[in-house]
């Protein structure tokens, strides 16, 4: 058995045009679980339709993929050669103005939710806003509710003050599921040392992104440059606080990129990182074009001198721990069933 095949490989974020070919590439790449983005700007009703769409995928491709409601489901999927699907929301739009929908979506399998997607939201400020007012009144109670039901707070697209406040408010570790350190490459979504240190101090995790606009040298970023970023971040935070959040968007048409950037809120094209040069999907790095290339990450980390134990943490072990801890938090807050006593 190779090192890669022995690992629990977890990708903290993808939004691909899901089909059998992509699922087969995931299995070929040894992916154990993926946090699949369900929505960006969709409301509650539209989000339910996205989940219904996943139900159809499980019917059509049940030999390859399965919904994971628990981390034990991830382990089971690995043992039977399937990919475990975890749901993630890249915006708070699905809960609209109803805090009760947090628990509803958690019960449907949603494991992570971003408080913002680039813009100011009812909960927090996005990283593209010119000023950051921090976590709102609604945001504070939503974070507490997410803690209660075992849904992990994700601040990947949030501004600095909002991110720092979310880290402080949350009783559970939060994640930055798909972004990179600013010291590696300056981008609006990449995070400062202050944010990363605060994240790690409260037990959180940053998932390294392979999206070229967030990499040094963009599409020309080499495996060595990527693992140097990983090594420097591990030196800063410790190996228990890093993972992978590839941000793969395989097979998606340009219309999806327009939806991600503009939603329904703008009539003008938002070019993302502030330049019309970024108007189209970026060319992926040559060594990570699809989920089939996950073994290249393991190989690069091994070549960079990381121990097998540390590679296991980076490639998925840390994600498993964060998500299982959230599960356990939910169990602790669950009311006792009728006839049961609560032991303090």
Identify the helix (H) or strand (E) that includes residue 261.
helix 254-262
pLDDT value, residue 53: 98
> Phi and psi (nearest 5°) for 58?
-65, -35
Q: Is residue 127 part of a domain?
A: no
| Confidence class for position 90, pLDDT limits 50, 70, 90 | very high
Domain enclosing residue 14, as ranges: 9-117+140-156+173-333
Q: Is residue 309 part of a domain?
A: yes
pLDDT for residue 77 is more than 90 = yes
Q: Is residue 123 part of a domain?
A: no
Query: Any idea what the CATH number is for the domain that residue 56 is in?
Result: 3.20.20.140
| Confidence class for position 291, pLDDT limits 50, 70, 90 | very high
Q: Is residue 246 part of a domain?
A: yes
Q: Is residue 221 part of a domain?
A: yes
Residue with tokens 């992104």: 209
In DSSP terms, 85 is beta-bridged to 34, 67
pLDDT tens for each residue of 120-153:
999 999 999 999 999 999 999 999 999 999 999 9
Q: Is residue 338 part of a domain?
A: no
Residue with tokens 């600095």: 160
pLDDT tens for each residue of 245-259:
999 999 999 999 999
pLDDT value, residue 306: 98
**Dihedral (CA of 207, 211, 214, 216) sign:** positive
Q: Is residue 1 part of a domain?
A: no
Q: Is residue 244 part of a domain?
A: yes
Total number of domains constituting the chain: 1
pLDDT value, residue 329: 84
């Amino acid at each position: 058995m190779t090192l890669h095949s022995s690992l629990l490989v977890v990708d903290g974020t993808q939004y691909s045009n899901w089909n059998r070919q992509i699922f087969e590439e995931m299995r070929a790449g040894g992916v154990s679980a993926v946090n699949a983005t369900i929505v960006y700007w969709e409301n509650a009703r539209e989000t339910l339709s996205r989940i219904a769409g996943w139900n159809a995928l499980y019917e059509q491709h049940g030999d390859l993929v399965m919904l994971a409601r628990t981390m034990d489901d991830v382990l089971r999927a690995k043992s039977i050669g399937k990919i475990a699907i975890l749901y993630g929301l890249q915006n708070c739009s699905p809960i609209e103005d109803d805090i009760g929908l947090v628990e509803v979506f958690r019960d449907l399998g949603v494991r992570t939710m971003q408080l913002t997607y680039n813009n100011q939201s009812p909960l927090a400020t996005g990283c593209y806003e010119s000023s950051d007012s921090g976590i709102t009144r609604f945001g504070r109670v939503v974070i507490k509710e997410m803690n209660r039901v075992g849904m992990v707070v994700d601040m990947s697209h949030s501004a600095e003050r909002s991110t720092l406040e979310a880290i402080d408010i949350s009783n559970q570790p939060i994640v930055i599921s798909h972004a990179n350190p600013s010291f590696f490459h300056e981008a609006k979504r990449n995070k400062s040392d202050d944010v990363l240190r605060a994240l790690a101090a409260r037990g959180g995790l940053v998932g390294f992104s392979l999206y070229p606009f967030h990499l040094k040298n963009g599409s020309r970023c080499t495996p060595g440059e990527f693992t140097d970023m990983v090594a420097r971040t591990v030196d800063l935070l410790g190996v228990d606080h890093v993972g992978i959040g590839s941000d793969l968007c395989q097979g998606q048409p340009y219309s999806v990129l327009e939806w991600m950037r503009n939603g329904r809120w703008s009539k003008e094209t938002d070019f993302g990182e502030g330049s019309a040069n970024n108007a189209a999907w970026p060319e992926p790095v040559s060594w990570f074009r699809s989920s089939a290339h996950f073994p290249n990450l393991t190989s690069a980390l091994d070549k960079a001198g990381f121990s097998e134990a540390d590679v296991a943490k980076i490639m998925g072990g840390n994600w498993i721990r964060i998500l299982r801890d959230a599960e356990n938090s939910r169990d602790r807050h669950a009311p006792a069933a009728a006839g049961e006593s609560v032991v303090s």
